């Protein structure tokens, strides 16, 4: 009986010594929804940039025996016109760009403008790997009738 108690004590001591502290962070800290709207030729248009519930890009590293787990919230853009209600997330662009969806998240940089000739709203988005300079810029065009398309702009290197 005493040997069993000693063995259990040593086993629990070993597990305690091998346990690591884990600190978890969320970026941004809290879920959010940013609402925007405007009127174009007496037509109300709105868009929302919002976090996707329980959808994260997780990066983990260890420092001085502590594991740090950073959860970057993933996002979507919802564009509402009188004739459509469309949701765009990173998977909408994945086939054309070829990024790893487990490592990248989407960011909205804003509404760039409205083209009178094509009747399109132009949004500027990025698909980004957090904490790196890996970024794919995207121009998303949404027609007032709900038709959408996107372009991947190219930039000249200044090197």
CATH number of the domain encompassing residue 135: 2.40.128.510
Q: What is the pLDDT of residue 15?
A: 42
pLDDT of residue 158: 66
Cα 36 to the chain's mean position, in Å? 19
Q: Is residue 37, in this structure, part of any structural domain at all?
A: yes
Residue 11 — very low, low, confident or very high, per pLDDT cuts 50/70/90? very low
Q: Does 52 map to a domain?
A: yes
Residue 8 has pLDDT above 50, yes or no: no
Task: Return the SS3 of 82.
Answer: coil
Q: What is the mean pLDDT of residues 1-10?
A: 48
Q: What domain range includes position 55?
A: 2-151
Pairing of strands 105-115, 120-128: antiparallel
What phi-psi label fits residue 146: left (phi over 0), alpha (psi between -120 and 50 degrees) or beta?
Answer: left
| Residue 119 domain flag | yes
pLDDT tens-digit series, residues 19-34 = 578 899 888 888 889 9
Segment 113-127 shows an average pLDDT of: 95
Question: Does residue 132 sit within a domain?
Answer: yes
Number of CB atoms found within 10 A of residue 145's CB:
12
Question: Given the structure tokens 């010594």, which residue do they identify?
Answer: 17
Number of domains composing the chain:
1
Asked whether residue 158 is assigned to any structural domain, the reply reads no
User: Does some domain include residue 157?
Assistant: no
């Amino acid at each position: 009986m005493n040997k069993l108690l000693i063995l259990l004590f040593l086993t629990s001591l070993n597990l305690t010594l091998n346990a690591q502290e884990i600190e978890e962070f969320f970026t941004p800290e809290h879920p959010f929804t940013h609402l925007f709207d405007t009127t174009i030729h007496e037509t109300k248009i709105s868009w929302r940039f919002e976090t996707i519930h329980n959808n994260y890009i997780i990066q983990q590293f260890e420092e001085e025996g502590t594991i740090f787990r950073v959860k970057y919230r993933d996002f979507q853009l919802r564009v509402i016109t009188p004739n459509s209600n469309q949701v765009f997330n990173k998977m909408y662009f994945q086939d054309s760009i070829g990024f790893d969806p487990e490592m990248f998240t989407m960011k909205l940089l804003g509404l760039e403008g409205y083209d009178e000739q094509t009747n399109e709203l132009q949004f500027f988005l990025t698909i980004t790997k957090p904490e790196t300079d890996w970024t794919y810029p995207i121009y998303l065009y949404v027609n007032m009738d709900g038709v959408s398309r996107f372009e991947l702009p190219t930039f000249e290197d200044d090197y």
